[in-house]
């Protein structure tokens, strides 16, 4: 496995050395990191494999331009801001980015629910998987949340964490050993028992647990990437997928800085007030009482927090 990792790194270094000339829009900050691995979780990563367009391509498409389409930087910025805040999504669909991602299977299962992307996954029907499993950090070993059915809460104490991590590690180890036995192969790919057949790969894989790592190429347009990120930055999102979103947000900032800024302001750090929420805030501003507003407890709490009301 060490060997495989070295081989992968060699390939990455080799491809990073190539340069070509192009008439296309290029982004320096992305060129600098192209093909590089950004580590996520304990054994996962994200790499940018390719990209199409920059901030000015959005403007160019919005204007259906013959040339570059951009005017002064300030005009471009205002247009992008306008497009994002008014939900004009089509110009952002004109940019694309392609990632190579290594991620645990249970994360992949959430991720794939975004259907507006292109995916090629490494197939455990064709190929044999390595012994790579996600083992959480102690600080991420948390108990079930009491208030939120789908979340987790306070960190487990040291003794609990250690014990539970032991179970996870042992489970991963045993599962991998079962997998190899079913394949009738050792870790190096050598046949274990020459007098026996192994089970077909497409069957053997089914003993692997959901924390096994998989890999895929994932391509998405800028509009849908922002949609993916806005969902994955929600406080309901599972930690193990949010860390991937964080790396992608950094990449977004390098790639399309004007769009990034508008996205932060209007989509990540915005707030949506319902009809009743508007009434609630209106009353606050005008010093009226709020005892007749049909606002849910959850929304009220959220608003109070967001607007700094005791």
Q: Which residues contact 236 (CB under 8 A, 6 or more apart)?
A: 148, 150, 151
- Residues 59 and 76: beta-carbon distance below 8 Å: yes
Q: Least Å distance between CB 250 and a copy of itself? A: 19
Residue from 64, 188, 289, 297 binding a copy of itself (CB under 8 A): 64
Q: Is 3 in the site for a copy of itself (CB under 8 A)?
A: no
Residue from 65, 75, 137, 191 binding a copy of itself (CB under 8 A): 65
Residue from 130, 138, 217, 257 binding a copy of itself (CB under 8 A): 217
Q: Is 61 in the site for a copy of itself (CB under 8 A)?
A: yes
Q: Is 118 in the site for a copy of itself (CB under 8 A)?
A: yes
Q: Is 56 in the site for a copy of itself (CB under 8 A)?
A: no
- Window 134-193: residues binding a copy of itself (CB under 8 A): 134, 136, 140-145, 149-153, 156-157, 160, 164, 167-168, 170-172, 174-175, 178, 181-183
Closer of 89 and 250 to a copy of itself (Cβ): 89
Q: Least Å distance between CB 39 and a copy of itself? A: 15
Q: How far is CA 172 from CA 101, 143, 165, 233, 241, in A?
A: 21, 21, 11, 29, 20
Tokens of 299: 């929304």
Q: Is 44 in the site for a copy of itself (CB under 8 A)?
A: no
Q: Least Å distance between CB 229 and a copy of itself? A: 13
**What dihedral do alpha carbons 243, 245, 249, 254 form, nearest 10°?**
80
Residue 104 backbone dihedrals phi, psi, to 5 degrees: -65, 150
The 8-class DSSP code of residue 138 comes to: G
- Residues 30 and 51: beta-carbon distance below 8 Å: yes
Q: Least Å distance between CB 288 and a copy of itself? A: 11
- Residues 258 and 77: beta-carbon distance below 8 Å: yes
Residue from 80, 91, 232, 248 binding a copy of itself (CB under 8 A): 91
Cross-strand pairs, 214: 103
Residue from 26, 75, 137, 191 binding a copy of itself (CB under 8 A): 26
Let me know if 115 is a catalytic residue: no
Site string for a copy of itself, 262-281 (x = CB under 8 A): --xxx--xxxxxxxxxx--x
Catalytic-role residue among 47, 63, 232, 267: 232
Q: Is 257 in the site for a copy of itself (CB under 8 A)?
A: no
Maximum Cα interatomic distance, the chain, rounded to a whole number of Å: 85
Question: Distance between CA 247 and CA 306 in Å, rounded?
Answer: 26
Give all strands (DSSP E) within 105-162, no chain letters. 118-121, 142-144, 152-155
Instruction: Kindly list the catalytic residues.
Output: 232
């Amino acid at each position: 496995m060490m060997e495989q990792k070295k081989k992968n790194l060699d390939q990455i270094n080799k491809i990073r050395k190539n340069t070509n000339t192009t008439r296309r829009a290029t982004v320096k900050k992305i060129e600098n990191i192209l093909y590089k691995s950004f580590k996520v979780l304990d054994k996962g990563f994200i790499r940018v494999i390719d990209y199409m367009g920059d901030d000015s391509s959005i403007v160019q498409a919005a204007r259906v331009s013959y040339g570059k389409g951009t005017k002064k930087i300030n005009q471009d910025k205002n247009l992008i801001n306008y497009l994002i805040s008014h939900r004009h999504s089509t110009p952002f669909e004109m940019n694309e980015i392609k990632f190579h991602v290594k991620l645990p299977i249970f994360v992949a299962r959430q991720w794939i629910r975004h259907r507006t992307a292109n995916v090629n996954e490494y197939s455990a029907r064709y190929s044999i998987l390595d012994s790579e499993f996600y083992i959480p950090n102690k600080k991420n070993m948390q108990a079930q949340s009491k208030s939120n059915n789908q979340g987790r809460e306070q960190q487990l104490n040291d003794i609990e964490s250690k014990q539970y991590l032991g179970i996870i590690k042992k489970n991963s180890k045993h599962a991998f050993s079962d997998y190899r036995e079913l394949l009738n192969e050792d870790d190096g790919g050598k046949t274990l028992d020459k007098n026996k057949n192994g089970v077909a790969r497409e069957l053997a894989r089914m003993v692997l647990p959901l924390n096994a790592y998989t890999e895929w190429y994932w391509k998405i347009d800028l509009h849908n990437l922002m949609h993916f990120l806005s969902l994955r930055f929600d406080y309901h999102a599972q930690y193990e997928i949010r860390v991937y979103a964080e790396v992608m947000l950094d990449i977004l900032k390098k790639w399309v800085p004007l769009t990034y800024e508008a996205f932060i302001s209007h989509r990540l750090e915005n707030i949506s007030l319902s009809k009743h929420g508007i009434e609630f805030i209106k009353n606050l501003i005008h010093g009226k009482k709020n005892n007749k507003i049909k606002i849910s407890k959850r929304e009220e709490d959220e608003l109070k927090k967001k607007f700094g009301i005791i």
